[in-house]
Amino acid sequence: MSGTGVLEESVQKMLPRVPVPLQEATSRLVNRDPTARPTAQLLQLIKYFIDPAVNALKFLDVVNMKDTSQKSHFYKNTLMEAMPLIPRKLWWQNVWPMLQAEISNGEVLAAVLQPVITLIQEASPSEYESIMAPTMK
């Protein structure tokens, strides 16, 4: 058996142990033809490697450039799913300031209220009193 055959056979035996979202990329990564291998840019786009918390925080950076429906979807779904994964410190540094700014935007107010209520429920008494209460008046 040639070297290529051994490699292909080994990859086929190993693939069932690789997470399904990575199987295609794994088989392409070991291709003898370097032009058939995925680039680093393509690898980082595989959903398996995407961190929901990081994606949510990145979206917050550009949320002002999004339309109302994109914002509403983000606040109701993406942010709500990512909140438990986002470190508390970033809730107050990144998430709360953006929510606070959006509260006055009537078009997305209903969507923004969900994460705001979550923050209120999860905030310690001192976090609520020092961070949220002064700006909610």
Both tokens of 114, joined, read: 């969900």
- How far CA 62 is from CA of 71, 76, 104, in Å, comes to 10, 17, 18
- Report the distance separating Cα 95 and Cα 128, nearest Å: 14
Q: Per-residue pLDDT averaged across 88-93, rounded? A: 94
pTM confidence score: 0.67
Q: Helix 3-14 vs helix 20-29: angle between axes, to the nearest 10 degrees?
A: 170
Residue 105's pLDDT band (cuts 50, 70, 90):
confident
Question: For residue 96, what pLDDT band results from cuts at 50, 70 and 90?
Answer: very high
Each residue's pLDDT tens digit, 22-78: 888 888 888 888 898 888 888 877 877 778 898 899 999 999 899 999 999 999 999
- Structural domain boundaries of the chain? 3-49, 52-136
